[in-house]
Amino acid sequence: MQVGVTIIYDAEYVRLDYPNGDVPIERGACTDVVVRAFRAIGIDLQVRVHEDMRRNFALYPKDWGATHPDSNIDHRRVQNLTTYFARMGKQLRANNSDEAFLPGDVVAWRLGSWMQHIGIVSAEQVAGTRRNYMIHNVGAGTQREDVLHSYEIIGHYRW
């Protein structure tokens, strides 16, 4: 639902409503792809991540210099989403075979020495393979692309 709609990559900090806060649908970052997909199935990661961070702040990364939970941005950081998924028991064991990634799974990658990225496995398979497309936003708006193995996979999660 986001491909062709979220056309601008924008990871800027903005004040959001709480709960169900979101940046305008035509904008977003990779994390917004995941947050919007989860909202479509009735799960508000803004609330869930923020509330868990309020109770367990010391367990979350401080990569962005965070000194306290912030409902405007907590759910818009890859490191916070992956920490939350792991804390909820949603992390899967490492298995990079194409068949291990099912539609709806969340995948996190390392793009460089510290930069991380996140996306969702599509229900559509890449023609001639057993690999599914990924839905993600790495800078050109939300895309459906064959990028599962294009970056170093650092996390695989299934809700």
* pLDDT tens readout for residues 138-157: 999 999 999 999 999 999 99
pLDDT of residue 32 exceeding 90: yes
For residues 77 and 105, state if they share a domain. Answer: no
For residues 105 and 150, state if they share a domain. Answer: yes
For residues 17 and 61, state if they share a domain. Answer: yes
Average pLDDT rounded to a whole number, residues 75-91: 98
- 30 in any annotated domain: yes
pLDDT of residue 70 exceeding 90: yes
For residues 12 and 82, state if they share a domain. Answer: yes
- 40 in any annotated domain: yes
In sequence order, the 6+-apart residues with CB closer than 8 A to the CB of 14 are 23, 72
Nearest one of 15, 31, 14, 19 to 80, comparing CA atoms: 31
- 3 in any annotated domain: no
- 75 in any annotated domain: yes
Read off the pLDDT of residues 42-54 as tens digits, 9 standing for 90 and up.
Answer: 999 999 999 999 9
pLDDT of residue 156: 98
What is the number of structural domains in the chain? Answer: 2
- Single out the residue in 67, 87, 107 at which a domain terminates: 87
For residues 79 and 103, state if they share a domain. Answer: no
Cα separation, 104 vs 21, whole angstroms: 22
- 130 in any annotated domain: yes
- 72 in any annotated domain: yes
Average pLDDT rounded to a whole number, residues 73-101: 97
- 92 in any annotated domain: no
State the pLDDT confidence band at 132, using cuts at 50, 70 and 90: very high
Residue 32's domain comprises 8-87
For residues 57 and 79, state if they share a domain. Answer: yes
- For residues 159 and 114, the model is more confident at 159
What is the share, in percent, of the chain residues with pLDDT greater than 70?
A: 100
pLDDT of residue 95 exceeding 90: yes
- 61 in any annotated domain: yes
pLDDT of residue 112: 83
- Single out the residue in 87, 118, 144 at which a domain terminates: 87
Mean pLDDT over the full length of the chain? 97
Cα separation, 28 vs 6, whole angstroms: 7
